Amino acid sequence: MIYFKDVSKIYPPDTVAVKDIHLQIEHGEFVSIVGQSGTGKTTLVKLMIAEEHPTSGEILINDIDIAKMPVSEIPVLRRQIGVIFQDFKLLEKKTVFENVAFALQVCGISGSRINKIVPQVLDIVGLDKKARRYPGQLSGGEQQRVVIARSLVHAPKIIVADEPTGNLDTINTHEIIEIFKKINALGVTIVLVTHNREIVNMLRRRVVTLEQGVIVNDQLKGKYVI
C-alpha cells in the first residue's frame, strides 16, 4: 500500500533529511516511526502526503507514484490519507459538529450526506454527545479527538499521525492511542510518528527507527530503543 523505494530528500544546498529510505507498509498495519528530533520523521510524513517531493527514488501509494502525480490530483490523494498533527487547528467559532462537517463542505458534499457521516465519525471517537460544544469547551484530548474525527470523514485507507499526543497528558495520550487501535481494527492503516517511548513500547506493533535520516531498525514487534 505504501512503498518508499530508495527515497532521499536533500534540501538546498546540501542538507540531507532522509537518505536511501526503503520502506513498505502493508494494508491494515499499525506502524510507529520513531527517532530523536531532526532524524527525518516529519520529512517522511511530508513525502507521504506529497507536501514534499523526493530528490530521488519513488513513493508509491496503491501502486501510484505520487511524486509524478499532477498537482490537480493531490487533493484527491490527501482525502485518501487522513493526516493528524500535534497542532489541532480547529475553528474556534464552530461547534464540534461544524468543525468536522467543514472538511466535507469544502468538497461539495451534500447536507444530507454530511448529517449522516459526521455523527458516525463522532461516535467512533467518543464525542457524539459533545457535537454542539465549541473547541474552547473541550479538553486537549477531546480537541484531538475532533481532529481525528475530521480525518475520518472521507473514509481514508491510511491515517498518518505526526506527534498526535505531543501536547497531551498521560491519560489523554492513552485514550487517543486506544482510538487509533480501534480505527486500525476497522482495517485502516495507521502510521504513527512519535517520540513517546512509553506508547511505542506499550503497543508492541511494528517499529521503524530513524537515525540521521536513515532507517536503522525495523521490527515487527519492536521497542523504541534509542
- Give 163-188 pLDDT, tens digit per residue: 999 888 999 999 999 999 999 999 99
Predicted local distance difference test score (pLDDT) of residue 224: 62
Rounded distance, CA 45 to CA 142, Å?
A: 24
Residues contacting residue 91 through CB under 8 Å, at least 6 positions apart: 98, 99, 102, 135
Q: Check residue 200 and report its DSSP letter.
A: H
Total-model pTM: 0.92
Predicted local distance difference test score (pLDDT) of residue 87: 82
Domains and CATH numbers, the chain: 2-219 (3.40.50.300)
The pLDDT tens digits for 2-34 are 999 999 999 999 999 999 999 999 999 999 999
Q: Alpha-carbon dihedral of residues 66, 67, 72, 73, nearest 10 degrees?
A: 0
The pLDDT tens digits for 32-81 are 999 988 899 999 999 999 999 999 999 999 888 998 888 888 888 888 89
Share of the chain above pLDDT 90, in %: 77
Please give the C-alpha separations between residue 135 and each of 21, 49, 92, 122, 164, in angstroms, as whole numbers.
Answer: 39, 26, 6, 14, 17
Rounded distance, CA 126 to CA 158, Å?
A: 20
Q: By three-state DSSP, how is residue 104 classified?
A: helix
Taking alpha carbons only, the member of 158, 157, 156, 129 closest to residue 145 is: 129
Rounded distance, CA 197 to CA 134, Å?
A: 32
pLDDT at 223 over 80: no
For residues 1-33, one letter each, b for 16 or more C-beta atoms within 10 angstroms of the residue's C-beta and e for the rest, the string is ebbbbebbbeeeeeebbbbebebebeeebbbbb
